[in-house]
Chains A and B, each alone.
Chain A
Amino acid sequence: MLARSIIVRFLRSMAAIFIVITLVFFVVRVTGDPVRSLVPENAPQATVDHYREVFGLNAPLWEQYIYYLRGILHGDFGASYFDADGALNIVMQRIPATLQIALPAFFLSTVLGLSSGILAAAHSGDRVGRIISSTAIGFAALPNFVVGIVLILVLGVQLHWFPAAGNTSANSMVMPVLTMALPPAAILARVTQTSMAEALALPCVAHAHAIHVNRWRRILAHALPNASRSIITIVGFDLAYLVAGSAVVEVLFGWPGVGSLFVHASEQNDYAVVQCIVVVVTISVVIVHALTDVAYRLVDPRLRSM
């Protein structure tokens, strides 16, 4: 029942989103008085009370919750405390910038990781394989901000090839994209290599050898589909990681995207924006996970009856 499993999956995703939305609500309400951080310290109690009314904070908790949920369904996350605009608008404005580096980074890391992993598995005995393997292990252990810093040092400062900050030109995209792409590429390469090595040892690949299928066809058309499960998992993580992981890179390179917005909003305790970003990012992650599940079923027919 392919249809039934999709419905179950959908329900689970909805539940996950709902839980996060609720969690965010309660965390915000519990950890403090947003009004306090908005008005000056020695403001009269009357002012504080007034703002409480305005923000609807005097109403019973469950009423606030309903109001909050309804707001979300209409795309209203509240107004940013520091920018007169609605939180959702602010976030939406910054999304294109993030996608500008995140999407190329995703494609780069997927292509790079997959091909290195397959190559490493195909050469598992010899030097090529070992070099790829070691390089991948190395890069996978590097935190992305260190990669970024090294790139800035080498390519930006010493060689002056690319600008180190801002999104002024196509050139300025290079380093952020590389920084976002390299560590995930390394992890993907390792997982691909391991899965492919296992797949290449499968009986069906030996059988393909016996019916004289040539080597690369065996690797790509016979072994790879069997290795897909783990690979799809990691690619799914990478896609989900796009927005979440861009925070560090954007801050490092001064890139005006959602990630750096999140960090700055966090520092300023701009709850509405932080809340909004958490919910938006979680929704996209949940969507990606659901897509990953569908991809599993497409690749492995044995899962289709589950």
Chain B
Amino acid sequence: MALTGMQTPVAARSRYRRRKFPTWSLKISLGIVAVVALVTVFGHFLAPQPLGAVAMTQRLQAPSAEHIFGTDELGRDILSQLIYSIQTSVVIAGSATLLSGFIGGLLGALAGWFGGAVDSTVSFFIDVQSSIPALILALGALVFFGGTPAVLVVILAVEGWERIARVTRAEVMSVRRSGYVNSTLNLGVSRFTTVRHHLLPALVAPLAVQLTLAFPSKILLESALSFLGLGIRPPNTSLGQMVGSGEQYLAFAWWIVLVPGVAIFLISLAVGIIGDHFQDRMIRNAG
């Protein structure tokens, strides 16, 4: 029987595969991520003004030497607000990504390793989860549980765990059924050791790629929720929150909205590009 299965792309087998993006985009992305990381960790020291420092006499000022990004409707320095917002958004999205990765990775691994009933159950939940639209679920949960950062992190983590679970399950299944793992287990090596030495190293790369690719969507989702006024609320600030509260002043104080908006864009773009490069490199190494 000629069971063709999936055709193997000829290009993936060839060593002469051309790169998709020029490396300068990777360098810029890494630069952006480095800046963001710096801001997240050291933001408190970098911001000219403390969080939420209202100064009603200086409302809605255009960008100037004194306020590089201008001031918002309450006179707060936008650069400072931006720094605090980046901290909040990145920490929330980052925690959510890690939590999502943990849930998805664990469930996917269990499903892939044990197969059978465990696999059926987990796969069923993966299917159910992918049927529920993220935003609706998130909004619903926010209404009922309130908009504290902790709830937000959990909600964001719940969106997208099924993708990570799927990938992890596939990886674990292929390792579990591979020749060398089977022979190792047959030789009597304990399962614990097998998992530690064979399974976990094989999972590091795919998981890292999935997490990197999941991060941008968490940032975007958090921004959307906060924009609608349901996520991070004042006096806390986040990138989406800044856009949301500044929206009504769009016509004459566009910087209030555009600065955080561009920040969201750059962060998700940069992480996305890095994730793509990881994925490319991983495919190339495996092929």
Q: Which one of B51-59, B183-191, B203-211, B227-235 contacts A?
A: B227-235
B136:A278 contact, CB within 8 angstroms: yes
B268:A141 contact, CB within 8 angstroms: yes
The residues in B between 119 and 167 inclusive whose CB is less than 8 angstroms from any CB of A are: 124, 127-128, 130-137, 139-145
Whether A35 is near chain B, meaning CB under 8 Å from some CB there, is no
Besides A141-B216, A263-B139, 16 new A-B residue pairs in contact (Cβ under 8 A), listed by A number? A27-B145, A137-B273, A143-B265, A146-B243, A150-B261, A153-B250, A153-B254, A198-B12, A203-B10, A263-B229, A274-B140, A275-B140, A278-B136, A281-B136, A282-B132, A285-B131
CB neighbours of B224 from chain A (8 A): 143-145, 248
CB neighbours of B21 from chain A (8 A): 133
B143:A274 contact, CB within 8 angstroms: yes
B139:A262 contact, CB within 8 angstroms: yes
- Contact partner of A137 (CB less than 8 A), chosen from B139, B230, B269, is B269
Q: Indicate the size class of the contact surface on chain B.
A: 35 or more
Whether B15 is near chain A, meaning CB under 8 Å from some CB there, is no
A20:B7 contact, CB within 8 angstroms: no
The residues in B between 242 and 266 inclusive whose CB is less than 8 angstroms from any CB of A are: 243, 247, 250-251, 254, 257-258, 261-262, 264-265
Interface string of B184-228 (1 = CB under 8 A from A): 000000000000000000000000000000001000100110011
A266:B7 contact, CB within 8 angstroms: no
CB neighbours of B10 from chain A (8 A): 201-203, 206
CB neighbours of B141 from chain A (8 A): 27
Interface string of A274-294 (1 = CB under 8 A from B): 110110011001100100000
Whether A13 is near chain B, meaning CB under 8 Å from some CB there, is yes
CA distance in complex: A145, B221 (Å): 11
Name which residue of chain B comes closest to A240, CB basis.
Answer: B133
B272:A12 contact, CB within 8 angstroms: no
B144:A244 contact, CB within 8 angstroms: no
CA distance in complex: A289, B262 (Å): 33
CA distance in complex: A34, B139 (Å): 18
A149:B250 contact, CB within 8 angstroms: yes
Whether A226 is near chain B, meaning CB under 8 Å from some CB there, is yes
CB neighbours of A203 from chain B (8 A): 7, 10
A-contacting residues of B (Cβ < 8 Å)? 4, 7, 9-12, 18, 20-21, 25, 124, 127-128, 130-137, 139-145, 216, 220, 223-224, 227-230, 240, 243, 247, 250-251, 254, 257-258, 261-262, 264-265, 268-269, 272-273
CB neighbours of B243 from chain A (8 A): 145-146, 149
CA distance in complex: A16, B123 (Å): 12
B140:A27 contact, CB within 8 angstroms: yes
CB neighbours of A247 from chain B (8 A): 135, 139, 228
Interface string of A72-106 (1 = CB under 8 A from B): 00000000000000000000000000000000000
The 6 closest A-B pairs by CB, nearest first: A201-B11, A244-B133, A141-B269, A146-B261, A31-B144, A201-B9
Closest CB in chain B relative to A74 CB, distance in Å: 22
CB neighbours of A277 from chain B (8 A): 136
CB neighbours of B132 from chain A (8 A): 16, 20, 282, 285
CA distance in complex: A144, B227 (Å): 11
CB neighbours of B134 from chain A (8 A): 244
CA distance in complex: A133, B22 (Å): 12
Whether A19 is near chain B, meaning CB under 8 Å from some CB there, is yes
Q: Indicate the size class of the contact surface on chain A.
A: 35 or more
Total of A-B residue pairs, C-beta within 8 Å: 143
CB neighbours of A252 from chain B (8 A): 247
Closest CB in chain B relative to A133 CB, distance in Å: 7
CA distance in complex: A80, B39 (Å): 45
B-contacting residues of A (Cβ < 8 Å)? 12-13, 15-16, 19-20, 24, 27-28, 30-32, 124-125, 133-134, 137-138, 140-146, 149-150, 152-153, 157, 197-199, 201-204, 206, 226, 240-241, 243-245, 247-248, 251-252, 262-263, 266-267, 269, 271, 274-275, 277-278, 281-282, 285-286, 289, 302
Closest CB in chain A relative to B51 CB, distance in Å: 23
Name which residue of chain B comes closest to A242, CB basis.
Answer: B133
- Contact partner of B12 (CB less than 8 A), chosen from A27, A201, A275, is A201
CB neighbours of B250 from chain A (8 A): 149, 152-153, 157
A248:B227 contact, CB within 8 angstroms: yes
CA distance in complex: A251, B135 (Å): 14
Closest CB in chain A relative to B278 CB, distance in Å: 15
CA distance in complex: A30, B145 (Å): 10
B20:A278 contact, CB within 8 angstroms: no
Closest CB in chain B relative to A290 CB, distance in Å: 9
CA distance in complex: A282, B134 (Å): 10
CB neighbours of B273 from chain A (8 A): 137
CA distance in complex: A202, B143 (Å): 49
Name which residue of chain A comes closest to B221, CB basis.
Answer: A143
CB neighbours of A243 from chain B (8 A): 133, 136
A278:B137 contact, CB within 8 angstroms: yes
CA distance in complex: A275, B143 (Å): 10
Name which residue of chain A comes closest to B225, CB basis.
Answer: A248
Q: A149-B250, A248-B228 are in contact. Are A141 and B128 (CB under 8 A)?
A: no
CA distance in complex: A289, B129 (Å): 11
CB neighbours of B127 from chain A (8 A): 12, 16
CA distance in complex: A302, B3 (Å): 10
CB neighbours of A241 from chain B (8 A): 133
